[in-house]
Structure 1
Amino acid sequence: MTEGRKLRVAMLYGGFSAEREVSLSSGRECAAAARSLGHEVVAIDVTRDVAGLVAALTPRPDVVLNALHGRWGEDGCVQGLLNLLDIPYTHSGVLASALAMDKPTAKRVFEAAGLRCPGGEVLHRSLVEAGDPMPRPYVVKPIDEGSSVGVTIVQPGDNKPAIHDGAWPYGDAVLVEPYIPGRELTVAVMGDRALAVTELRPKQGFYSYEAKYTEGKTEHLVPAPVPQAIYDQAMDEAVAAHRALGCRGVSRADFRYDDRPGQGEAGGLYLLEVNTQPGMTPLSLVPEQAAHLGISFPELIGWMLEQAACD
């Protein structure tokens, strides 16, 4: 792509996943940034009407800016449609998107690459509802949702199990993991380099969906105040995870850092997951880390579009 070329950009946002509101916010920010660079942007709020989406992508744009989050937009589904239409798009392709979105499968990929993840297993929801599947504290997650949607930490003394009264709209498969105490770290990857390490300190509870997207709920510390060896390890492992999945463009790796004294090999860094389409809202972490390095939000979006159009 010739630098400075003005692109016809179709931006996909909204959608019909549990992360619709986050996607709408990301899309508004991305569209404004792309337009500030002089690109022509057509914003498409994606529905289940596939024929309507194909029609909205006609005439063929130069590139799709994929601002969808969650299932169907981030798990390889819309990526497969765009491949069929031969339209380049931002972020990862079909395989990397599908692998990253399926947490148990991603964990196997990470472990094969030598990256340490929390243990755990996939159980039928009925087993989790019947009683504790492992000693408390433990974490219960949907296997294929993002943004901490549906995540519950079951602590000693809690009166109710993680799933009760049938209140689990995420399918029959449930991922159950031991809870890793410590600190929440995240690293953005842009192409082939890690940007920075951010420590996330929720003011109450854990880094939940509400804590992520409600202003004032979480303190972001960038660069993270951790030992240099841990900082460097997180940067290296974020890039290794990005490569192991086959990601492209921008991704973000989330970690837990168990810094309790006397833990020995049980302490240290654990890779939780990789987000192949990180949020681009005013509270999002990738733009914040980019800004820490002097990369403005329009420059970040411009880079993403250029990489996709040239791919």
Structure 2
Amino acid sequence: MSSFYNSPVAILYQAALPPVKNGIIKPMKPGGYSDSGADMAFTLQQAGIPVVTPVGHPDPTQVYDWVFPDTRQGIEQALTLGAKRLWLNTILFETHPIQHYLNQGIPVVGQDPSLVELYDDKWDTNALLRSKGLPIPSAHVLQRVEELESILQQGLSLPVVAKPIRGRGSAGVSLIHTPEELRATVKAMLQSAEFGDAIMIETYLPGQEVTLTVMPPGRYHMEGASVAKTRYWSLPPVKRFNHQNGIAPYNGVVAVVANSAVVSDEERRTESLQVLMRQCEQAAELVSARAPIRIDCRQDNQGTYYLFDLNLKPNMTGAGRPGREDQDSLSALAARSIGWSYPDLLVNMLAQQWHR
């Protein structure tokens, strides 16, 4: 265990947009996750893990003092400064520069870039999950406004949610109640090309929304003991509330601690949530997750839960740096309910590092 604690780690952040795939664009988060990267680096350092940083004495208030860009140059700098493992707090894809270093056997924390490219497409991922019997809301892909008229004539049930195919959180997601509003929204989204040349419209689920963080198999430190988890396993569900026009707002606008809470033990033991947790674990196995993923789920008006958004790169902000007291992510909230502090969560994630 001493080598685990003594091996220096560097945190990478997203420096540029990922490549366009099949005409679909994945928008970039402002700052490229440098904020959560700084939270993680600061917290790991406070927990006694050696953290390599771009500057000798990083300022807790300056995010770029703590993280390296996920470019060839940024990765080389981190390794030159002594990093022995890399935390991929960034958006990955098949041709990402990290592939070169993975092929050299450097340990990483994060997903396999090839699988991220495959499963970052919400349409394809939902099709896979649906084909395996998991409950996924019905949806359509639109590349032209004209295609919408055919779908409306077939009796599309409103309201629906319009969303990007390779989206990021709730960015670009809107709830639509009328055909006129739908036509205007689809036209605006396709003409802007912000998300590429296709979008999704999906059945709106009006019931309770919960989000589940699913952890990969591995060895974890829990309640003072080392525990081997041989299968994917869920942290307790977190319920969302105070939606804005039916959609949970982006965490950069409203901190999740203001509109989210871990479900009670009694709720968690209900059959519907127990089934949902198993379904989310199955989904994580289907996409071969190597690090935590987060799956957003919601009930229809009959009370049945559906999985509507599988996120391979969940937000990992957390309280620690000055002024970040309200920045716990949904995964950090869930982790606290099993007795893990934010540092505990990060150290346990670090323990799941892997290499080729």
Distance in 2 between the 1:119 and 1:253 partners? Answer: 17
Aligned to 1:67: 89
Of 22, 27, 39, which residue of structure 2 is paired with 1:29?
Answer: 39
Aligned to 1:253: 295
**Would the alpha carbon gap of residues 218 and 167 (structure 1) be closer, same or farther in structure 2, given more than 3 Å must change?**
farther
**Would the alpha carbon gap of residues 44 and 152 (structure 1) be closer, same or farther in structure 2, given more than 3 Å must change?**
same
Aligned to 2:282: 240
Aligned to 1:46: 69
TM-fit CA distance, 1:84: 3.6
TM-fit CA distance, 1:13: 1.7
TM-fit CA distance, 1:12: 0.7
Distance in 2 between the 1:54 and 1:238 partners? Answer: 33
Give matches, 1:3-14, under 5 Å. Answer: 5-14=5-14
Aligned to 2:22: none
Aligned to 1:272: 308
Of 70, 92, 96, which residue of structure 1 is paired with 2:115?
Answer: 96
Aligned to 1:58: 79
Aligned to 1:179: 204
Distance in 1 between the 2:5 and 2:72 partners? Answer: 30
Normalising by structure 2, what TM-score?
A: 0.74
Aligned to 1:122: 141
Is the contact made by 1:251 and 1:274 (CA closer than 8 Å) also made in structure 2?
Answer: yes
TM-fit CA distance, 1:76: 4.7
Is the contact made by 1:121 and 1:177 (CA closer than 8 Å) also made in structure 2?
Answer: yes
**Would the alpha carbon gap of residues 76 and 89 (structure 1) be closer, same or farther in structure 2, given more than 3 Å must change?**
farther
**Would the alpha carbon gap of residues 119 and 180 (structure 1) be closer, same or farther in structure 2, given more than 3 Å must change?**
same
1:159-193 deviation per Cα after TM superposition (whole angstroms, max 9, x unaligned): 46213452341100111212122121111112221
Aligned to 1:189: 214
SS of corresponding position for 1:122: strand
Distance in 2 between the 1:257 and 1:157 partners? Answer: 24
Q: Which has the larger radius of gyration?
A: 2
Alignment-mate amino acid for residue 172 of structure 1: D
Is the contact made by 1:213 and 1:283 (CA closer than 8 Å) also made in structure 2?
Answer: no
**Would the alpha carbon gap of residues 115 and 255 (structure 1) be closer, same or farther in structure 2, given more than 3 Å must change?**
same
Alignment-mate amino acid for residue 238 of structure 1: C
Distance in 2 between the 1:274 and 1:245 partners? Answer: 10
Task: Report sequence identity in percent.
Answer: 23
TM-fit CA distance, 1:22: 6.8
SS of corresponding position for 1:40: coil
Distance in 1 between the 2:99 and 2:253 partners? Answer: 29
Q: Which has the higher strand share?
A: 1
Aligned residues: 299
SS of corresponding position for 1:19: coil
1:154 and 2:176 matched: yes
**Would the alpha carbon gap of residues 232 and 22 (structure 1) be closer, same or farther in structure 2, given more than 3 Å must change?**
farther
**Would the alpha carbon gap of residues 271 and 203 (structure 1) be closer, same or farther in structure 2, given more than 3 Å must change?**
closer
Q: Which moved more, 1:2-11 or 1:182-191?
A: 2-11
Aligned to 1:229: 271
Alignment-mate amino acid for residue 87 of structure 2: L
Q: CA RMSD in A?
A: 2.8
Is the contact made by 1:34 and 1:41 (CA closer than 8 Å) also made in structure 2?
Answer: no
Is the contact made by 1:197 and 1:223 (CA closer than 8 Å) also made in structure 2?
Answer: yes
**Would the alpha carbon gap of residues 277 and 82 (structure 1) be closer, same or farther in structure 2, given more than 3 Å must change?**
farther
**Would the alpha carbon gap of residues 209 and 90 (structure 1) be closer, same or farther in structure 2, given more than 3 Å must change?**
farther
Of 285, 306, 309, which residue of structure 1 is paired with 2:351?
Answer: 306
Of 107, 113, 123, which residue of structure 1 is paired with 2:126?
Answer: 107
Aligned to 1:142: 164
SS of corresponding position for 2:110: coil
Alignment-mate amino acid for residue 8 of structure 2: R
Segments of structure 2 that go 5 or more residues without pairing to the other structure are: 18-27, 54-65, 217-231, 318-326
- After the TM superposition, which segments of 4 or more aligned residues of structure 1 sit over 4 Å from their partners? 1-4, 128-133, 157-160, 224-227
Aligned to 2:220: none
Give matches, 1:157-172, under 5 Å. Answer: 159=181, 161-165=184-188, 166-172=191-197
Is the contact made by 2:336 and 2:342 (CA closer than 8 Å) also made in structure 1?
Answer: yes
